[in-house]
Amino acid sequence: MKTLSLSALTALGLLAGAPVHAVPLFGQTPVVTVTVSRLQSQAQLAANLSQQGYSHVVLSAVTPNVTDPHPELNPGETASPATTPVRNGWNGVADKDGQTVQVYVTGL
């Protein structure tokens, strides 16, 4: 019979008593889609969203990826909206009516 180490037993004890929360694997992410007919900067996009009632608009110079799933949280990626062009697809996040939405652009 194999024996378990004290740390393994402790871990098992902690896991056995830990509460479990069900989290759905798939859910709807709120999205705002903006159609842009000409190239513009992310600063112009943020101003347009603000005029439509969005606040806390944070647009990123790069899209999310495996190593950086939330580039909108990196100040280095959000520091130059006046010189960062809007791109098709995901550009960042914004808040409206107490809910954070993903900002997607189409039409470029």
Q: Is residue 23 part of a domain?
A: no
The model's pTM is 0.72
Q: Which of 3-7, 36-40, 103-107 has the highest mean pLDDT?
A: 103-107
Q: Is residue 57 part of a domain?
A: yes
Contacts of 98 (CB under 8 A, 6+ apart): none
Q: Is residue 62 part of a domain?
A: yes
Domain range for 58:
29-106
Q: Is residue 83 part of a domain?
A: yes
Distance between CA 30 and CA 13 in Å, rounded?
Answer: 39
Number of domain units in the chain: 1
Q: Is residue 40 part of a domain?
A: yes
Confidence at residue 76, expressed as pLDDT on a 0 to 100 scale: 94
| pLDDT category of residue 12 using cuts at 50, 70 and 90 | very low
**C-beta separation of 85 from 39 below 8 A:** yes
Average pLDDT over residues 84-98: 95
16-37 pLDDT, tens digit per residue, is 444 444 444 456 778 999 988 7
